[in-house]
Structure 1
Amino acid sequence: MDFSLLYFANRTADDAPAEYDLLFDSARFADRNGFTAVWLPERHFHPFGGAYPNPALAAAALAAQTERVRLRAGSVVAPLHDPLTVVEDWAFVDNLSRGRVDLALATGWNAHDFVLAPERYAARRAHTLDSLAEVRDLWAGRTVERTDGKGRQARVTTYPRPVQPDLDLWLTCSSHPAGFEQAGTLGLNVLTALLFQRVEDLVPRIRAYRAARERAGHDPATGRVTLMVHTFVGESDDAVREVVRAPFLEYLASSVDLWRDRWPELAAHSGPQLLDHAFERYFRTSALLGSVEKCVRFVERLREAGIHEVASLIDFGAPAPATLEALHRLGQVRHAFVN
């Protein structure tokens, strides 16, 4: 089982630059203490996740702060970008980091984000698949066709050339089984979360992912499944609850209006009672929140479900000093799974 860190800070903080101090400090901790990767999101036009409008910028900053840990986009919202700029940006980071870049691609779901490319929203899944093919081609040094400033067809490739000849790719899947199957068919890894699915729901979805890989001619035993989980490991369950409950509820509340298009039945019932219920679900069954012993048991469940990597979301609002201290206990959880 691999352990990584993932970031999705709410950009309504009183001291916004301090969030990036937490990013740098925790990434250096991950780099020194055997963690696999840091995952950096892409979010636009909303405080929830708004600290990260461009994961390549954050990864470039971390490339100079770290030496070993992988630098991963989690995720590039593919329909909002030309694959040319995606590969240019991340090949630059691949050079800065001497070959430590991986990418997850996502279709996007919030219509408001698509003010950047409104014509692509309806067909965003098809645009993502087209982007995937071009990203792979460009990373390998092949050319793609575009129309230049004089209306002529031109074939172009990107520079700088990346350090890595091949790019490890994930597809971000929410809870729909078709997404897992599509990732398997395409030979991609999977990045998923427990936002609106349970651990037991993952079992058939991962099984379908493996079957799709096999049908498409990929080795069904390969392909990695990464799960994002909110994380704070403390001395005891009660101590963790006391530290995280208020900031976690505030964090959840900041995202409610993002649900309205995709999950209107939840938004219609939003309020303190729903948020309390959501917190209890996370705390009891869907997050690494609690003592080392509780979190080890939870990771055991994830491993049995077919998860290969835990991506710990740590910047949901708990005080930075406490969050950094909690990383040491997360390290204890990780050591329980070191072969």
Structure 2
Amino acid sequence: MAMDFSLLYFANREVTDPPKEYDLLLDSARFADERGFTALWLPERHFHPFGGAYPNPALAATALAVSTSRVRLRAGSVVLPLHDPLTVVEDWSFVDNLARGRVDLALATGWNANDFALAPDRYAGRREYVFEHLDTLRDLWAGKPVTRVNGDGAEVEITTYPRAVQPDLNLWLTCSSNPANFAEAGARGINVLTALLFQEVDDLVPRIEAYREARAAAGFDPDAGTVTVMLHTFVGETDDAVREVIREPFLGYLESSVDLWRSKWPELNDAKQGNLLDHAFERYFRSSALFGSVARCADFVRNLYEVGVDEVACLIDFGVPDRQTLASLEYLDQVRLAVNSPGGLPCR
């Protein structure tokens, strides 16, 4: 029994020195690589400062491929409807070569309409696009050709290069809280990347059960798939010390995303926004993030393991100064070691 620990990035900072924004990425990646963390998750975001440090996860993964040697490099996630599978495979096969076979991909349908300025015709059918192109993505990765129409209007067979090091592509589906997506991932034999943004820990139980049941019904080993949960993370000496460090940066981080949700909540005025952010902070600190002491966070991870989670992807770059964030990784490593020690995890 073991729980995988990974780092995940979703920076939101209006910085005066933009190149410095990536120092934390590189420094924390080296830490994860040296300490035995499982993976580094890199997002795709467009046209907004919230997450906008990462418009193409393959670019970030390229930098990490040559500065790490063991940790896996994962797209978390490729918004597949914004791309042709041909270019996804070309980009990530290149990374897989540099990384000597350490690439995995999570695929997302996308959610923000402005992102689809890159592919406006695909917005309405974005979910269908992902599932329609899964097999194409796998075939291209494995070196199989696809038929396309070239510039002369002729049908041609296309094979991508460079060839990936890994013969098969390990895939995740990014699921917010829709049980149907969990079941769809299970039926297709791929892993799940989810979060506690729109659900509680207890809500994961029926969703993970639906995932496992769908895997079994489709002929896949129900226990073989990986369920990864993203958690905002900062571990320290005491719960109070962590609260003091993270409260203002995390509130600012949450506030920076509010305008992305105004189309869904048009009644959100400034007064309500302040109350909402305070409530959100307390919810995260209490039950939806890896915030607090080593003992508190280890208990939270054990709870996640008990409900069926296999990996925690720790989002660390939400605005706490780099020096403090890097120092907190030492405590996070203590959590990892504690829960993965003999007898450290409950039976399930």
CA distance in 1, matches of 2:197, 2:77: 16
CA distance in 2, matches of 1:203, 1:270: 32
* SS of alignment partner, residue 4 of structure 1: strand
Q: Report the CA distance between 1:11 and its aligned residue.
A: 3.9
CA distance in 2, matches of 1:270, 1:113: 27
CA distance in 2, matches of 1:50, 1:70: 22
* SS of alignment partner, residue 228 of structure 1: strand
* SS of alignment partner, residue 264 of structure 1: coil
User: Which of 29, 35, 38 is equivalent to 2:37?
Assistant: 35
Q: For residue 57 of structure 2, what is the amino acid of its counterpart? A: P
Matched with 1:225 is 227
Post-superposition Cα deviations, 1:134-159, rounded to whole Å, max 9, x if no partner, equal 11000011111111001111110100
Matched with 2:47 is 45
**Is this contact kept in 2: 1:256–1:270, CA < 8 A?**
no
Q: Does 1:236 align with 2:219?
A: no
CA distance in 2, matches of 1:248, 1:147: 49
Matched with 1:264 is 265
CA distance in 2, matches of 1:337, 1:288: 14
Matched with 2:297 is 295
**Is this contact kept in 1: 2:189–2:220, CA < 8 A?**
yes
Over the matched positions of the two proteins, sequence identity in percent amounts to 69
Q: Which runs of 5+ in 2 are unaligned?
A: 342-348
CA distance in 1, matches of 2:268, 2:169: 38
Q: Does 1:190 align with 2:192?
A: yes
Equivalent positions of 1:1-339 (< 5 A) are 1-261=3-263, 263-264=264-265, 267=268, 270-339=272-341
Sort the Cα spacing of 1:77 and 1:164 in 2 relative to 1 into closer, same or farther, 3 A. Answer: same
Sort the Cα spacing of 1:260 and 1:145 in 2 relative to 1 into closer, same or farther, 3 A. Answer: farther
Deviates more, 1:141-150 or 1:1-10: 141-150
* SS of alignment partner, residue 166 of structure 2: coil
Q: What's the TM-score once normalised by structure 2's chain length?
A: 0.95
Post-superposition Cα deviations, 1:10-29, rounded to whole Å, max 9, x if no partner, equal 14133322220000000000
Q: For residue 102 of structure 1, what is the amino acid of its counterpart? A: D
CA distance in 2, matches of 1:216, 1:83: 25
Post-superposition Cα deviations, 1:97-154, rounded to whole Å, max 9, x if no partner, equal 0000000000001000000000000000111112211110000111111110011111
Q: Report the CA distance between 1:265 and its aligned residue.
A: 7.0
Q: For residue 43 of structure 1, what is the amino acid of its counterpart? A: R
Q: Which runs of 5+ in 1 are unaligned?
A: none
CA distance in 2, matches of 1:309, 1:265: 36
CA distance in 2, matches of 1:60, 1:43: 17
* SS of alignment partner, residue 328 of structure 2: helix
CA distance in 1, matches of 2:104, 2:52: 21
Please provide the CA RMSD for this pair.
1.2
**Is this contact kept in 2: 1:79–1:131, CA < 8 A?**
no
CA distance in 2, matches of 1:334, 1:254: 30
Sort the Cα spacing of 1:266 and 1:20 in 2 relative to 1 into closer, same or farther, 3 A. Answer: farther
Q: Report the CA distance between 1:221 and its aligned residue.
A: 1.2
Q: For residue 303 of structure 2, what is the amino acid of its counterpart? A: R
Post-superposition Cα deviations, 1:50-89, rounded to whole Å, max 9, x if no partner, equal 0000000000000110000000000000000000000000
**Is this contact kept in 2: 1:82–1:131, CA < 8 A?**
no
**Is this contact kept in 1: 2:13–2:319, CA < 8 A?**
no
Matched with 2:344 is none
Number of positions where the alignment pairs a residue of Structure 1 with one of Structure 2:
338
* SS of alignment partner, residue 3 of structure 1: strand
After the TM superposition, which parts of structure 1 deviate over 4 Å for at least 4 consecutive aligned residues?
Answer: 265-270
* SS of alignment partner, residue 77 of structure 2: strand
**Is this contact kept in 2: 1:257–1:267, CA < 8 A?**
no
Q: For residue 121 of structure 2, what is the amino acid of its counterpart? A: E
Q: For residue 274 of structure 1, what is the amino acid of its counterpart? A: L
Q: What's the TM-score once normalised by structure 1's chain length?
A: 0.98
